[in-house]
Amino acid sequence: MGTTIGIGLLGLGTVGSGVAKILLSPQGRHPLVSEVHLARVAVRDLNRPRDVSIPTKLLTKDPKEVVDDPSVDVVVEVMGGIEPARTLIMRAIKAGKSVVTANKAVIARHGEEIATAANASGVYVLIEAAVGGGIPIIEPLKQSLGGNRIKRVSGIINGTTNYILSRMSKEGAKYKEVLNEAQDLGYAEADPAADVEGLDAADKIAILSGLAFGGSIDRTKIPTIGINNLQSIDVQYAKQLGYEVKLLATAEKLIQNNERLDSIPLALSVQPTLVPKDHPLAGVNGVNNAILVEGEPIGKVMFYGPGAGAGPTASAVVADILNIAGVNQLETSTTCLDPLLSANSWRNCHLVDRNVMIQRNYLRLNVVDSPGVIGRIGSLFGDRKVSIQSIVQFDASQEGAEIVVITHKVSLGQMNDSLEAIKHLKEVAGIASHLGCL
Amino acid sequence: MGTTIGIGLLGLGTVGSGVAKILLSPQGRHPLVSEVHLARVAVRDLNRPRDVSIPTKLLTKDPKEVVDDPSVDVVVEVMGGIEPARTLIMRAIKAGKSVVTANKAVIARHGEEIATAANASGVYVLIEAAVGGGIPIIEPLKQSLGGNRIKRVSGIINGTTNYILSRMSKEGAKYKEVLNEAQDLGYAEADPAADVEGLDAADKIAILSGLAFGGSIDRTKIPTIGINNLQSIDVQYAKQLGYEVKLLATAEKLIQNNERLDSIPLALSVQPTLVPKDHPLAGVNGVNNAILVEGEPIGKVMFYGPGAGAGPTASAVVADILNIAGVNQLETSTTCLDPLLSANSWRNCHLVDRNVMIQRNYLRLNVVDSPGVIGRIGSLFGDRKVSIQSIVQFDASQEGAEIVVITHKVSLGQMNDSLEAIKHLKEVAGIASHLGCL
């Protein structure tokens, strides 16, 4: 074991145990796995029974001991949460150790600080497991798509909400019911806010955009709408109109020419979105994730697979460990980094205001069922230059009817102006839903 | 340009021009693109008009001049065909130059010789563009999935046949008609044999298997059935039964435990295969490709995108160029290679005989329409321990009926024994089709 690379594991929960299992059973895997060994492991409780057997002398309750241990060459942070994860990552970097982390929350918020420190120390911070679970998406974005001008990255990048939406679509079930069952099954956490309010997806699209567009992203400025207020009736109407509702995270570069600008304008958002049934993202069900990348000259490529779970996430963590182990064999000078692995920012980006973003929209309006209502709504949109693709009336209840409108592409500013006016029509009792539409 | 990496391009057809266009317009792409320049280009005809403008002094008709030019650091082979491509690749390697190639035919047949020479010379031979066009699949297999024990790789890896099959499915059109139109549109070559007979897909699955399972593959032993004898009626029956017909290339490791064997048995095949409509590969249409990788602990991941075309293929070639440029910045000693990029064989593999391969089967039998026929066919399969999932009679023609059988998993040896017996039933006029079924 002497000359192999020592791994210090911070956390031995589901992902940490998954990583340990791979490293402890190298047979049949890439031979480089044999050149890596578990050197030290930080756990919360030394005496908890585990399904992976690790020599007791490797265990410690103090994560700093793992980071500082001279036999640890690479620190693998799989404890989650902002602190102490951030401090431990920075401590490892300052000690000249490369870091592998699955921590999207830390990277989305402190990625720039961490990258700057890593480059100064000549170490790598690799984050394949932070987005898309087992799906290779970070490496391909960094290493395989560099020849492209990326135009758009969009995807289903939260497994919990996709599981809930898939069941709502299939069974016509209500959000609350499915959430409760998902919690019982362990697919959703006791406090599901980060998932169902879209915050986890926003962390991840911030990370993907930073890599795709080459500039750091202000995580706090991403307009984020979760599925926690989604009505099952909208999922059903969407289906009848030929769509599936997905929690879509999207990032789009708003200039397509290549003039030199001080900063590249980007539109980022997370919101429930109608996806046409023949679109590759529409068939992504259950806890699976998929990320669609569009660029010039590649066109569209999609990466699909399990978005969470111990095994897939551990696979991604080990991929990063192997990448560091591979480069390690090149006997490089310590300050030199492979620019594709190290992933610096190389231009400035800024997020545009939600009002200037352009999208198709799905609207459900509660109306009084009267002969002229569709005409009046249509004219009102027309007056405001909002082009309509379809207006359909559903006879939902005893008291009134429901009208579902799908618009062509329009800025959200124009859309909101129109909605303000529509609210004041006497036939309109209320705007029940407003979702995005691909 | 002095210190940037010089690229020698062998071939300036569609892919070569695509590569040149990217290298000549670095703005908005990864900054590493600026650290690479076109140093020399071999073309067939110096005076042919082109849509990319390259200084005349860089052009030559002699590809050896490109390989030997001291200003060329990396040789990019996009001329296609076995010779002189193979000789030029070997010449570059011997001169200590890394090679990027899109040439699946050369790599599938001479990959081992080329890899051995590359390792001896301490250079890389990268082949992202050889499989799946623009889809990043080679790099992810080499760099992102190394922690896994890969069980199975399967996919739609020939765009021409997938285009033909998609149209046969959608329009009910006949193979010959669609092929002729595909030729007119430039989606199929004048001599379509390599595509429609499955040979191109066999080249590609040989390459993918070599990387996924870590051993070199005897390309000549892959059972290969193309779509050139596929009847449109089978595509229609498949649809009625809930399947799409795809030309599937599959590679499966036949031992799942991890005992040390001298050689790992693999089942490889290329054949038209029924794919259930809810399977992720069923929705892959037109010239798109998709590759599904199954392993432990990752589960299933799929890579989807444009399987051919100048832009996508050029994107993959440039990815490889950037990988070499990235590692190049590490000032390594010349004999050291990153083991994830260099991709050696690390164990022995062998292909098992087609008769021991296990699969589900789709059969179409021409029968005389008589009351007992389904029973007799069913019993005959039962006697030979072939378990049936469904038998459906279609009233196809005036003269007789057609029976479509879908079996559960069974060895092809057993299957063929049963078919031999069925042929001799007096009610059976003939076995019209035999396809695989997922």
> pTM, whole model, 2 decimals?
0.95
- Mean of pLDDT over chain B: 94
Q: Which of residues 56-85 of A touch B (CB under 8 A)?
A: none
Separation in Å, CA of A192 to nearest CA in chain B: 25
Dihedral sign, Cα of residue A393, residue A395, residue A401, residue A405: negative
The dotted CATH code for B356-437 is 3.30.70.260
Please give the order of strands across the beta sheet that includes A98-101.
A59-60, A36-42, A5-10, A74-77, A98-101, A125-126
Confidence of residue B60 (pLDDT cuts 50, 70, 90): very high
Q: How many residues does chain B have?
A: 438
Contact between B408 and B360 under an 8 Å Cβ cutoff? The reply is yes
- Write down the CATH superfamily of domain B138-306: Dihydrodipicolinate Reductase; domain 2 (3.30.360.10)
Please state the rounded mean pLDDT for residues B150-173. Answer: 97
Indicate whether A213 pLDDT > 80: yes
Indicate whether B260 pLDDT > 90: no
Q: Read off the pLDDT of residues B385-432 as tens digits, 9 standing for 90 and up.
A: 999 999 999 875 667 899 999 999 999 999 999 999 999 999 999 999
- Chain A residues touching residue B323 (CB < 8 angstroms): 143, 340
- Chain B residues touching residue A147 (CB < 8 angstroms): 22, 29-30, 33, 314-315, 317-319, 321-322
B256 touches chain A (CB under 8 A): no
Highest CATH level, class, for A138-307: alpha beta
Dihedral sign, Cα of residue A218, residue A223, residue A228, residue A230: negative
* Cis, peptide link before residue B55, omega less than 30° from 0: no
Please state the rounded mean pLDDT for residues A229-244. Answer: 97
A334 touches chain B (CB under 8 A): no
**Which 3 state secondary structure label does DSSP give B364?**
strand
Q: Which of residues 294-333 of A touch B (CB under 8 A)?
A: 295-306, 309-312, 314-319, 321-323, 326-327, 329-333
Nearest to A167 by CA among A125, A230, A253: A230
pLDDT value of residue B344: 79
Q: Which of A287-301, A336-350, B119-133 has the lowest mean pLDDT?
A: A336-350
pLDDT value of residue A371: 81
Confidence of residue B2 (pLDDT cuts 50, 70, 90): very low
Confidence of residue A395 (pLDDT cuts 50, 70, 90): confident
Instruction: With CB atoms and an 8 Å threshold, state whether B139 touches A134.
Output: no
Q: Which of residues 195-224 of A touch B (CB under 8 A)?
A: 214
Q: Which of A192-201, B109-118, B368-377, B399-408 has the lowest mean pLDDT?
A: B368-377
Q: Read off the pLDDT of residues B295-313 as tens digits, 9 standing for 90 and up.
A: 999 999 999 999 989 999 9
- Mean of pLDDT over chain A: 94
A52 touches chain B (CB under 8 A): no
pLDDT value of residue A400: 81
Indicate whether A302 pLDDT > 90: yes
Q: How far is CA A415 from CA A384, B198, B428, in A?
A: 9, 51, 66
* Cis, peptide link before residue A84, omega less than 30° from 0: yes
Q: Which of A241-255, A333-347, B279-293 has the lowest mean pLDDT?
A: A333-347
Q: One of B204, B253, B277, B423 is an active-site residue; which one?
A: B204
CATH topology of domain B5-134+311-342: Rossmann fold (3.40.50)
Indicate whether A255 pLDDT > 90: no
Instruction: With CB atoms and an 8 Å threshold, state whether A149 touches B297.
Output: no
pLDDT value of residue A2: 44
Nearest to B269 by CA among B346, B361, B190: B361
Distance of CA A94 to the CA centre of its chain: 28
Indicate whether A231 pLDDT > 50: yes
Q: Read off the pLDDT of residues A320-364 as tens digits, 9 standing for 90 and up.
A: 999 999 988 886 655 688 888 987 788 999 999 999 999 999 999
Please state the rounded mean pLDDT for residues A204-211. Answer: 97
Confidence of residue B332 (pLDDT cuts 50, 70, 90): low
Which residue pairs, CB below 8 angstroms and at least 24 apart, start in A104-108? A104/A130, A104/A131, A104/A200, A104/A203, A104/A204, A104/A207, A105/A80, A105/A81, A105/A203, A106/A77, A106/A82, A107/A203, A107/A207, A108/A202, A108/A203, A108/A204, A108/A206, A108/A207, A108/A217, A108/A219
Instruction: With CB atoms and an 8 Å threshold, state whether B214 touches A30.
Output: yes
Indicate whether B142 pLDDT > 70: yes
The domain limits of chain A are: 5-134+311-342, 138-307, 356-437
pLDDT value of residue B227: 98
Question: Which residues have CB under 8 Å from B165's CB, separation 6+?
Answer: B227, B230, B235, B244, B245, B246, B247, B272
By percentage, how much of chain A surpasses pLDDT 90?
A: 86
Separation in Å, CA of A67 to nearest CA in chain B: 23
SS3 readout for chain A: CCCCEEEEEECCCHHHHHHHHHHHCCCCCCHHHHHEEEEEEECCCCCCCCCCCCCHHHEECCHHHHHHCCCCCEEEECCCCCCCHHHHHHHHHHCCCEEEECCHHHHHHHHHHHHHHHHHHCCCEECHHHCCCCCCCHHHHHHHCCCCEEEEEEEECCHHHHHHHHHHHHHCCCHHHHHHHHHHHCCCCCCCHHHHCCHHHHHHHHHHHHHHHCCCCCHHHCCECCCCCCCHHHHHHHHHCCEEEEEEEEEEECCCCCCCCCCEEEEEEEEEEEEECCCCCCCCCCCEEEEEEEEECCEEEEEEEECCCHHHHHHHHHHHHHHHHHHHCCCCCCCCCCHHHHCCCCCCEEECCHHHCEEEEEEEEEECCCCCHHHHHHHHHHHCCCCEEEEEEECCCCCCEEEEEEECCEEHHHHHHHHHHHHCCCCEEEEEEEEEEC
- Chain B residues touching residue A305 (CB < 8 angstroms): 298-302
Please state the rounded mean pLDDT for residues A72-96. Answer: 97
A5-134+311-342 and A138-307: identical CATH topology = no
Which among B144, B305, B323 has the least Cβ separation from residue A301? Answer: B305
Confidence of residue A1 (pLDDT cuts 50, 70, 90): very low
- Chain B residues touching residue A143 (CB < 8 angstroms): 136, 139, 143, 319, 322-323, 326
Confidence of residue A256 (pLDDT cuts 50, 70, 90): confident
Contact between B308 and B159 under an 8 Å Cβ cutoff? The reply is yes
Structure ipTM: 0.94
**Which 3 state secondary structure label does DSSP give B274?**
strand
Buried b (16+ CB within 10 A) or exposed e, A341-371: bbbebeeebebeebeebebbbbbbbbbeeee
Four-CA torsion B164, B168, B169, B172, nearest 10 degrees: 170
Q: Read off the pLDDT of residues B180-228 as tens digits, 9 standing for 90 and up.
A: 999 998 889 999 999 999 999 999 999 999 999 999 999 999 999 999 9
